[in-house]
Chain A
Amino acid sequence: MSSPSPARAAIVLLLALGGCDRESREPRGRPLPETGPQIAPQRTAMMNGVPVPTTEDPRADDYEGNAYHVAQGYRYFAWMNCSGCHANGGGGMGPPLMDDEWRYGGSMEQIAATIIQGRPNGMPSYRGRVTEQQVWQLAAFVRSLSAQNRQDVLPGRTDAPRNTEPQTLQEPQPVVETGVANDSASQE
């Protein structure tokens, strides 16, 4: 029996349809209203190199594992002038974001908290200036700079010419929490 049966054709069609649903685009965020991570209240004293305690947020994985949200984060990274200090992740006036050092933690929740609260020595607070969903998207993009996201979420190419290899070809950088405070502590 070599002729393709309708059943077999239907199975092939169903498998092909699976390719149409890579990830969902939810332009309004989910659920409504979108909220940021459960983060500790703003503190007056902040130790460089000591991450702010955050609790895990289930939405972190949703945003980190969604190529659309990473791409939106890339857009906002330029629009909100993150690149003004961090360049394209290589750092400038601000610290680099594509290496393995995280002064205030490298998890989605910690990056979101850093964007919302601001950090000493120049990182302004974006509380209220960007929506909570944009914060999540930015955090997902920042994670992608050191290839932390799933392989199929990372962008294989960028919109602008770049001299670094695409993140899909990079090894994920380990998340190491270091900073000036830790360095000085180790020197003592």
Chain B
Amino acid sequence: MIARRAFALSLAFLLGGCSGIQSALGRDGRHGEIFGGLFAIFLAVTLFVYLIVIAFLLAGIFRRRGKRQDGLPDEEGESREASLRKGLIGWAAFIALGLSVLTVASFVADRLMAQASGPDPLRIQIVAHQWWWEVRYEDADPSRTFRTANELHLPVGVPVQITLMSNDVIHSFWVPNLAGKQDLIPGRTTQIALHPTREGVYRGQCAEYCGLQHARMALDVTVEPVAAFRTWRTQQLLPAPLPRTPLQQAGLRYVETRECGACHSIVGTRASGQVAPDLTHLASRRTIGAGTYPMSRGHLYAWVADPQSAKPGNRMPHIPLEPDQLHAIVAYLETLR
């Protein structure tokens, strides 16, 4: 009874991985659908073979070996059954056929995935850092390129070609709802194609252990209608809005002239560091710290005041801020929509 309950419970846990914003059997993208089909074919063929093997094993266990007519033990175990010979030949032929089906299916799935990328895809560059994602939207017109961090907006039904790079160690790009994994390797570029087919919010996750905060290296993926994507893109191209209140202005002054601007960049201000996430439209993102916390005033305060408590080991140093400086910085960051 307990064993049955434990089995049901573990099954429920496993099935939990097949739904929601991070689903291992995701079918929200063309590549996920193709791969799901390939998975089903593999499952069917291998399950069929497995059942036959088990059936013969059971038959072998329950069926006694035949005896010689003179009553002596039969050492050679000579087969008196011609049907067994035929059966084994048939079995070998079936294995060859099954493997051929899997090979062809795998080849066809590969071709379909390659074709799913389309002739004129949206081009994006993603650079993985310990422990966040730098996202660069490319365009033929250089003035229409921009940088963001830890968020990926994609138009539904449009093929996407992503170039992957790493700045430090090996990471792996994985948005399970849309497609499979692809490693990001320092010193190399790799490619992955996406083709989202359903609107929604999905969670990408680094899938190659990359250090202390590997688990908190998430990518917030939003698949939206083409019009909404255009609006978002136009918004991202704008420089940061000017601060209005004296408090916000004091925050901008601190960010530009002190430690923040040495690593972070905010387009339209003098903060131009390139080693940390771009903050130009920080407040429009849904999370901070690569999916560590939802975006809110409280979490912003916690992060700026003591980043090493918010996400221990991350690369942002502790800056001993006075309370008025902290208020000013957070007030300014909240204007970055």
Contacts and interface: CB of A to CB of B under 8 A. Distances in A.
Interface string A130-164: 11011000000000000000000000000100000
Contacts of A75: 315
A130 B263 CA distance: 10
A128 to B, nearest CB: 5
Nearest to B314: A27
Contacts of B319: 131
B317 A134 contact: yes
Interface in A13-61: 27-29, 32-34
A133 B259 contact: no
Interface stretch (B71-79, B188-196, B305-313): B305-313
A130 B308 contact: no
Contact of B320 (A33, A79, A159): A33
Given A27-B308, A79-B275, A128 B320 contact: no
A175 interface: no
Nearest to B312: A27
A129 B308 contact: no
B317 A129 contact: no
Contact of A27 (B259, B262, B275, B318): B318
A128 B259 contact: yes
A29 B319 CA distance: 10
Contact of A129 (B259, B275, B306): B259
Nearest to A127: B258
B275 A28 contact: no
B257 interface: yes
A128 B321 CA distance: 11
A180 interface: no
B258 A133 contact: no
Contacts of B257: 128
A80 B275 CA distance: 9
Contact of A133 (B273, B315, B318): B318
A76 to B, nearest CB: 9
A97 B259 CA distance: 24
Nearest to B262: A129
Interface residues of B, number: 18
A27 B313 contact: yes
Contacts of B273: 79
Contacts of A134: 317
Contact of A28 (B168, B259, B306): B306
A129 B261 CA distance: 8
Contacts of B308: 27-28
Given A28-B306, A128-B257, A80 B320 contact: no
B274 to A, nearest CB: 9
A133 B317 contact: yes
Contacts of A129: 258-259, 261-262
A32 B308 CA distance: 13
Nearest to B275: A79
Contacts of A29: 318
A133 B320 CA distance: 10
A70 to B, nearest CB: 16
Contacts of A159: 168
A28 B262 contact: no
A32 B319 CA distance: 10
Interface in B91-128: none
Interface string A87-104: 000000000000000000
Interface string B241-284: 00000000000000001110111000000000101000000000
A131 B262 CA distance: 11
B224 to A, nearest CB: 34
B262 A80 contact: yes
A34 B259 CA distance: 14
The 4 A-B residue pairs with the shortest CB-CB distance in the complex, in nearest-first order: A33-B320, A27-B308, A28-B318, A79-B275
16 contacts: A27-B308, A27-B313, A27-B317, A33-B320, A34-B318, A79-B273, A79-B275, A128-B258, A128-B259, A129-B259, A129-B261, A129-B262, A131-B320, A133-B318, A134-B317, A159-B168
Given A131-B319, A133-B318, 5 more contacts: A33-B320, A34-B318, A34-B320, A79-B273, A128-B257
